[in-house]
Amino acid sequence: SQTIHQWPATLVQPVGSPLSLECTVEGTSNPNLYWYRQAAGRGLQLLFYSVGIGQISSEVPQNLSASRPQDRQFILSSKKLLLSDSGFYLCAWGLAGAETQYFGPGTRLLVL
């Protein structure tokens, strides 16, 4: 069966520090991968998605970037965090051509 992992679960970072959040998927090959951000009490905003290694599409211009160095690994990064980067970050995967997505447990990021 497929599983998706995210770490860390919680992160407190100072403004201006770098960020690296990791997401890995097990039990499937060549998945579509997604990064979302969720503000408190709100819906999900799609940040990035990837249909293959090295292929990244950005949905919203911002302070963040994403990379997919391996088939089942998706990384969300920032060189310098802003206060507005605080939120709940969710990684998801889906089969190519299918619409249903499967979500990881999320990372709660607080930038102070």
Partner 1 sequence: SQQGEEDPQALSIQEGENATMNCSYKTSINNLQWYRQNSGRGLVHLILIRSNEREKHSGRLRVTLDTSKKSSSLLITASRAADTASYFCATVKAAGNKLTFGGGTRVLVKP
Q: Which residues bind partner 1 (CB under 8 A)?
A: 34, 36, 41-46, 49, 59, 88, 90, 92, 96-106, 108
- CA quadruple 41, 44, 45, 50: dihedral sign: positive
Residue closer to partner 1, measured from CB, 46 or 56: 46
In sequence order, what are the residues at sequence separation of 6 or more whose Cβ sits closer than 8 angstroms to the Cβ of residue 51?
Answer: 32, 57, 96
Say which residue the tokens 């990035």 belong to. Answer: 48
Assigned token pair, 100 = 């249903």
Cβ 72 to partner 1 shortest distance, Å = 17
Cβ 112 to partner 1 shortest distance, Å = 19
In sequence order, what are the residues at sequence separation of 6 or more whose Cβ sits closer than 8 angstroms to the Cβ of residue 98?
Answer: none
Cβ 42 to partner 1 shortest distance, Å = 6
What pairing do the DSSP bridges indicate for beta strands 107-111 and 10-13?
parallel
Cβ 81 to partner 1 shortest distance, Å = 21
Residue closer to partner 1, measured from CB, 59 or 80: 59
Residue closer to partner 1, measured from CB, 23 or 75: 23
Residue closer to partner 1, measured from CB, 59 or 79: 59
